[in-house]
Structure 1
Amino acid sequence: MSQDEARIHDTDIPDTADGTVTYDGPAGGWGSLQGISQIFGREWSSPAAIETLMRQNKPKGFMCVSCSWAKPADHHTFEFCENGAKATLWELTSARCTPEFFAEHSVTELRGWADYDLEMQGRLTEPMRYDATTDHYVPCSWDEAFQSIGEHLRSLDPKSVIFYASGRASLETSYLYALFARLYGNNNLPDSSNMCHETTSVALKKLLGVGVGTVVFDDLAKCDAMFFFGQNTGSNSPRFLHPLQEAAKRGVEIITFNPVREKGLESFVNPQNPAEMLTGRETRISSQYHQVKAGGDVAVLIGLCKHVFARDDEARREGRRVLDVDFIEAHTHGLDEFEAKVRAISWDEIERESGLSREAIESAGDVYVKAERVIGVYGMGLTQHAHGFLNVAMFVNLLLLRGNIGRDGTGISPVRGHSNVQGQRTVGISEKPELVPLDKMAEQFGFDPPRDKGMNTVEACHGFLEGKVRAFISLGGNFVRAIPERDAMEAAWTRMQLTVQIATKLNRSHLINGKAAYLLPCLGRTEQDIQATGPQAVTMEDTFSCIQGSIGLRKPASEQLKSELAIVAGIAKATLPDNPKLKWDDWVGDYGLVRDLIAESYPEMFHDFNDRMFTPGGFYKGNAARERIWKTESGKAEFTTPDRLNSIGFDDAPGRYRLMTLRSNDQFNTTIYGMSDRLRGIEGRRDVLLINPDEMARAGLSEGQEVWLEGDAGDGVHREAGPLRVTPFRLPDGCLGAYYPEMNSLMPVWHHDGPSKTPAAKSVPVRIRT
């Protein structure tokens, strides 16, 4: 057995996993290159595509439109991953979705198309409005669109209008979009983080005083161990695999807890290493991989903390300590109550709720105890549960016990999915007015900003169902497809007076329209943005809180495209009364002026913004918790005492399963690039139900059998999805897997985390119907 093979420590995986669908190769390698070329063969091989990809995530290049991973100062030759390349080629496609396409196909017909087929029609080329008489989109001028949208907005109660933002719009556009909403009269500014990492923003803000992670990129090279919970690196942030590979090679213990065996956290072949590509030699990433039951992370983390306390007891008898008592005394609050609770919980309870053995959890706990510097990494496998706040809080508890926050090589690191979703929140896209410098903005722009809380995503969904939301403006995204309770939401959506979609490509949300509807095509991030003062640059914030500049150089897909910023300004000008402090035309002409406004509103983070925006690796906006300054109610980092042992929000019962919604390797959020989930061994289809062989046998199911899933939330509402093809897959008992967004119809809108209202997409109660 090789040294790399010996590093992997599989635990609690049933022997019956033999015969399940799986992928035998590593993440990366030739499979990654083939995955790109199979979908974008023509674009992938064109000189324009190669030139563009060579500028991706590099100084004076453009920020990837996919995930929010860092753009490091010391970059690789190819600073893009498989999914990042897919996202770029998706934008660079030669296909065009023109007015002739819409003349040929009615909206009703297009609603019956698959998500993949809609997006593969290519780039939108002209502004369009929905003609209800003919049920077709028809061309319109930009002036017509702006003026009509403005007239509708002026006729509505501002509190009834939603200003939604997906996670890709630049800081400049996001700032003006939020300003527009508040000038109009509301804080109804939900964004895509409401559906994924709002749990992070709420939990870390309360417990550490900051709403984002405390880790910076350089910490990855300084840690001794990493603990992963519910994060699929191989598909969702593949460039993370490079520092993970480096860490594994230098002996860093990487401990993974995830219900699904995600290939990127098992093994990796670096496509940038010729020797690895030629020999196929792979690096084992995780030294321990534990398949925790969906929603069982609370129990795992309690078990890890319980083991830390036990090892501390042993050390005290020898005159040592495992707990960082100096840190705990000076910087934390609430340990005594938490410790008493953890000590009182039995290992039998922990094993039952986690689906793991005591031995497995203690083995991981020993790694934590021995490591001097630990980073905690997590994704939506922690946040998207009915008690996701508790998941995050328990992870914070574990790190606090040994002072693993606020030192180099330590910290908590939520990995954000979309390219600027964190940055949008930083510059004002928030339904929570207390997070925005409203007094300063009132002074800047001469108005009285609304002070009442706005609607987040779940509250907006309730507003649709109740008829309280009358208009919806979407800055990117595919909102109707992404939200829970899809069938009911689509029916309610058409009762709105106005829907406006700012987009690069067609998706299903554009086909569920209000009485008046506009589809406004925008420039992509790879494209030249020429305004009155010349070519413009924009900025984004990465997952490590660094601000990066981005410049597009490709010729736009259509001469009629406008930038997102210009579209927002055009609607705002047509809607709002005159105000000499609102210089929309100047701001569109020179984005540097917008950055000056941001610096004025947020001087601590964005001082000298224009001068610093192209700092190699980005400039760091700062993080108080990283400096061990705790902006919490107690003035210290908070321990949280658990009141339950799982995060699912419902009781187990015979025949009731925990459904996890998953994204495939050929997918980013709701965007479906193709029908290959290579890293799980699933090809050519998405209508699959993943279930382990033991569960198949108990339920009397056979491989390939078609079944339906029915919601089992107990509220009397019938929800179903299918037919789905039974597929044996390595999952814990009681757990099922199926693809997002197709399974959203099974998720009640009220099934969400309490404090953050993040939809609980990783543990949906369902039954199987044959």
Structure 2
Amino acid sequence: MSTRSGDLRIEDPSMPAGGWGSVSEVTTILLDQGVPLKDSRLLLKQNKPDGFACVSCAWAKPANPHPFEFCESGAKATAWETTSKTIDADFFERHTVTELESWDDHRLEDQGRLTVPLRYDAQTDRYQQIAWESAFAEIGAALRGLERKQVVFYSSGRASLETSYMYSLFARMYGNNNLPDSSNMCHESTSVGLQKTIGVPVGTVVLDDFEQTDCIFFFGQNVGVNSPRMLHQLQAARKRGVPIITFNPLRERGLVSFTNPQSPLEMLTGKETAISTQYHQVKPGGDTAAIMGLCKAIFALDDAARGAGQRVLDSAFLQEHTDGFDNFEAAVRACQWQDIERESGLLRNDLESAAAVYCAAKAVMAVYGMGLTQHRNGVQNVTMIVNLLLLRGNIGKPGAGVCPVRGHSNVQGQRTVGITEKPELAPLDKLKQQYGFEPPREAGMNTVEACEGILAGRVQAFIGLGGNFVRAVPERGLMEAAWRALPLTVQIATKLNRNHVIHGKASYILPCLGRIEIDRQAGGPQDVTVEDSTACMHGSRGMAEPVASTLRSEPAIVAGIAKATLAPNPRVDWDRWVADYGTVREAIAETYPEIFHDFNARMWTPGGFRKPIAASSRVWNTDSGKAVFTVPESLQGNPDLAGSPATLRLFTVRSDGQFNTTVYSHDDRFRGVYGSRMVLFMSRADMARHALAQGELVALRSAASDGVERRVDGLAIVPYDVPPGCIAGYFPELNGLIPLWHHAKESKVPAAKAIDVILERGGRPA
């Protein structure tokens, strides 16, 4: 069935992930972006040991890649970066910034690559071209005149290890640890939760574990949209008979079935691989309750086994390697099934069925994404994953472990080389010795704290190394107004986005080379490095001709600003670093010898070289020296916004046509939505309860009673299989409904996956 309302078309989605739909999408975007045949062949080098690392997601790069080691999302990202469309100074002669503010995200980025440095002119309301050296001099002069603690150095997660290292050093030499990044908006809950329970801030799983596992549990991660290359590992596991148990509010296509575009037989026959063997549509925010139910069922199975002189729990592992088990067991046994069912939205029998599969497996992996981390209890959700795995010793052995799936392509790596607001996580004493300056010891601002500082007027300048910060953060109404009062904003970018048209009083856009482009410096063509989701480091070599000769590389731009801002330091030769990125890697290796020894020699290792992950060897760098069981504080998914009968629980999702804030199209073929992103997914039962018809326009307003008006109009109702009392809509369009204070405890990740809202009929078109 297909219905149309204005630009919006709604169809019943039925296709698997991959297949001809994926091939069609890739072909369409290559043609739309005017990517010539010679550049489309770049896809053959994507994620290859001698090629370039995808600029999209951070999924692992295999040592023995497929002939086409790219997915639909990665191909879209490559087409988006190698587009033949460009923006020069003439573009801004035709369009005022006020006009551009009315354009949506897709239209802004679809104009093409930025090619010249720009400075905002308030008199004409236009960006005007400026010489590179003039831009650096003006930015440096402005930064020298500001209080050091009032400047924020943000990074998006796409910059290389080399750039990230230089950027973090620049910020600390400038005088602060204000280094928030996109981790603060997604997986900071992982970094906090895993560090305190198993002693490492990242996952323990590598690609080889997928070949040795005999059970996979999936929580809150849409593999078909956010990391489609993982579908190869999941399909191979399913063909071996490995059960995959999924907990996710929506039935996502990539977790239901997959047709491999690289298999001629599957493409010709339409053969599908069923991915999930059990699919449990947990209520948003109900993950802690669901995992408590799993654990409760596991204890019951262990009790029954004891009667026969056997054990389900790995008692030897628990005794030798864990701390806090008795308290956790007592909490699980005291927890009541009616509370678990109410908060999780799942039935006891279903949780017991999933627990039985878990207990029958010898090696279990737990894979999760932002569906667990972006909650008020996001850190608790992560520690509950650890609790579940520890019960049967499923950390630190082949085929088992915890696998958080990171988003942006080097978001994990930039933390490894110093991008952090937490001074205790940076080797400050080593930096002092290496570079002869006194690094700041005071904690910097994370993303939420940077927003609070901007709203309060404490932040005077924002330097953005990539990203679309003003669009990605919560509290859109207040943030955009406050952003305009910033004395200085500087954006290092490849494409135009909302962070450029919502600008500070003095605003600069500095266009950079993309990772896929050849980076020619004084020392010759340069390569860079990134870290993937499994903590493996990879080399990446640009292969496309730059879209314009006027672009500069990210390291060159960071160095240019640093030289114009800082007093000369004989131990930091910015020009030498820019001429030869190998010298930056030598500096990284000196700062982090345990991880990066012989960096230049190892960077092209097929499959990457992995940084030491102690928990993978059952070494626990915790206070107790053991893996730590934690007792959940509450089963409630949204403890601060207690729902009433009038409220619905909203959670935000990404579409098939986007990656993070980058919107490639207004279509989402996996959900049958075409032509618009201003939609609201609702169950037919809730539609009947509210007397709403498909396509009817509604508005949402926040249920928070803090005196701030948060509202989004013009949302068209789309019937979908959503848990009762819950609705879903797209990020970032619905970010304005999230209060800034509605974030994960401990990690301060915005709680975008459980937002209590009130629906109003007759919403005005957006």
- For Structure 1 versus Structure 2, the TM-score category normalised by the shorter chain is over 0.9
- Counterpart of 2:372 (choices 373, 378, 382) is 382
Query: 1: CA distance between counterparts of 2:573 and 2:413?
Result: 23
2:7 alignment partner in structure 1: none
Query: 1: CA distance between counterparts of 2:32 and 2:460?
Result: 43
Change (3 A) 1:45 1:518: closer
- Counterpart of 2:66 (choices 76, 87, 97) is 76
Whether the 8 Å CA contact 2:34–2:85 is kept in 1: the answer is no
Change (3 A) 1:255 1:710: same
Deviations 1:404-459 (A, max 9, x none): 00001000000001100000000000000100111001011000000010000000
Shift, 1:676, TM fit: 1.1
1:709 alignment partner in structure 2: 700
Count of aligned pairs: 751
SS in 1 for 2:670: helix
Whether the 8 Å CA contact 1:36–1:44 is kept in 2: the answer is no
Change (3 A) 1:22 1:398: farther
Query: 1: CA distance between counterparts of 2:38 and 2:316?
Result: 57
- Counterpart of 1:683 (choices 650, 674, 680) is 674
- Counterpart of 2:650 (choices 627, 644, 659) is 659
2:284 alignment partner in structure 1: 294
Q: Say if 2:259 is the partner of 1:249.
A: no
Matches for 1:107-146 after TM superposition, within 5 Å: 107-146=97-136
Q: Say if 2:751 is the partner of 1:760.
A: yes
Shift, 1:713, TM fit: 1.4
- Counterpart of 1:275 (choices 260, 265, 268) is 265
Query: 1: CA distance between counterparts of 2:32 and 2:108?
Result: 19
SS in 1 for 2:601: helix
Query: 1: CA distance between counterparts of 2:543 and 2:407?
Result: 25
Q: Say if 2:345 is the partner of 1:361.
A: no
Q: Point out the more displaced range, 88-97 or 20-29.
A: 20-29
Query: 1: CA distance between counterparts of 2:432 and 2:599?
Result: 21
Query: 2: CA distance between counterparts of 1:642 and 1:437?
Result: 32
2:230 alignment partner in structure 1: 240
2:684 alignment partner in structure 1: 693
Shift, 1:216, TM fit: 0.8
Query: 2: CA distance between counterparts of 1:460 and 1:237?
Result: 29
Whether the 8 Å CA contact 1:43–1:49 is kept in 2: the answer is no
TM-score, normalised on structure 1?
Answer: 0.97
Q: Say if 2:732 is the partner of 1:741.
A: yes
1:498 alignment partner in structure 2: 488
Whether the 8 Å CA contact 1:331–1:637 is kept in 2: the answer is yes
Query: 1: CA distance between counterparts of 2:660 and 2:362?
Result: 36
| Letter of the structure 2 residue corresponding to residue 165 of structure 1 | S
- Counterpart of 1:637 (choices 627, 639, 643) is 627
Query: 1: CA distance between counterparts of 2:702 and 2:161?
Result: 39
Shift, 1:490, TM fit: 0.6
SS in 1 for 2:555: helix
Shift, 1:43, TM fit: 4.8
Change (3 A) 1:741 1:698: same
Whether the 8 Å CA contact 2:29–2:79 is kept in 1: the answer is no
Whether the 8 Å CA contact 2:39–2:544 is kept in 1: the answer is no
Q: Say if 2:360 is the partner of 1:370.
A: yes
Matches for 1:66-465 after TM superposition, within 5 Å: 66-465=56-455
1:478 alignment partner in structure 2: 468
Shift, 1:49, TM fit: 2.7
Query: 1: CA distance between counterparts of 2:196 and 2:283?
Result: 27
1:16 alignment partner in structure 2: none
Query: 1: CA distance between counterparts of 2:724 and 2:379?
Result: 24
Whether the 8 Å CA contact 2:343–2:637 is kept in 1: the answer is no
Whether the 8 Å CA contact 1:82–1:238 is kept in 2: the answer is yes
| Letter of the structure 1 residue corresponding to residue 699 of structure 2 | W
1:15 alignment partner in structure 2: none
SS in 1 for 2:342: helix
Query: 1: CA distance between counterparts of 2:69 and 2:524?
Result: 28
Shift, 1:21, TM fit: 5.8
Query: 2: CA distance between counterparts of 1:44 and 1:251?
Result: 43
Query: 2: CA distance between counterparts of 1:160 and 1:588?
Result: 28
| Letter of the structure 1 residue corresponding to residue 167 of structure 2 | Y
Deviations 1:262-284 (A, max 9, x none): 10011000000000000000000
Query: 2: CA distance between counterparts of 1:185 and 1:740?
Result: 34
SS in 1 for 2:546: coil
SS in 1 for 2:57: coil
Shift, 1:197, TM fit: 0.4
Deviations 1:277-314 (A, max 9, x none): 00000000000001011111111100000011000001
- Counterpart of 2:39 (choices 49, 63, 72) is 49
Give structure 1 regions of 4+ aligned residues with deviation exceeding 6 angstroms.
none
Structure 2 gaps, min length 5: 1-9, 762-766
Query: 2: CA distance between counterparts of 1:360 and 1:44?
Result: 50
SS in 1 for 2:134: helix
Structure 1 gaps, min length 5: 1-19
Deviations 1:309-368 (A, max 9, x none): 000001111111111111111111111111111111111111111111111111100000
Q: Point out the more displaced range, 150-159 or 639-648.
A: 639-648
Deviations 1:228-278 (A, max 9, x none): 000000000000000100000100000000001110011000000000000
Whether the 8 Å CA contact 2:35–2:83 is kept in 1: the answer is no
Query: 2: CA distance between counterparts of 1:429 and 1:150?
Result: 21
| Letter of the structure 2 residue corresponding to residue 718 of structure 1 | E
Query: 1: CA distance between counterparts of 2:631 and 2:32?
Result: 56
2:517 alignment partner in structure 1: 527
SS in 1 for 2:229: helix
Q: Say if 2:600 is the partner of 1:616.
A: no
Whether the 8 Å CA contact 1:540–1:548 is kept in 2: the answer is yes
Query: 2: CA distance between counterparts of 1:42 and 1:286?
Result: 34
Shift, 1:42, TM fit: 4.9
Query: 2: CA distance between counterparts of 1:59 and 1:338?
Result: 44
| Letter of the structure 2 residue corresponding to residue 753 of structure 1 | A
Q: Say if 2:18 is the partner of 1:28.
A: yes
Query: 2: CA distance between counterparts of 1:485 and 1:40?
Result: 35
Whether the 8 Å CA contact 1:107–1:135 is kept in 2: the answer is yes
1:14 alignment partner in structure 2: none
| Letter of the structure 1 residue corresponding to residue 688 of structure 2 | A
Query: 1: CA distance between counterparts of 2:131 and 2:442?
Result: 36
- Counterpart of 1:724 (choices 715, 725, 737) is 715
Query: 2: CA distance between counterparts of 1:82 and 1:722?
Result: 31
| Letter of the structure 2 residue corresponding to residue 426 of structure 1 | T
Query: 1: CA distance between counterparts of 2:12 and 2:200?
Result: 39
Shift, 1:566, TM fit: 0.4
SS in 1 for 2:301: helix
| Letter of the structure 2 residue corresponding to residue 237 of structure 1 | S
Whether the 8 Å CA contact 1:21–1:728 is kept in 2: the answer is no
Shift, 1:22, TM fit: 4.0
Whether the 8 Å CA contact 1:388–1:647 is kept in 2: the answer is no
Shift, 1:513, TM fit: 1.3
Whether the 8 Å CA contact 1:124–1:506 is kept in 2: the answer is yes
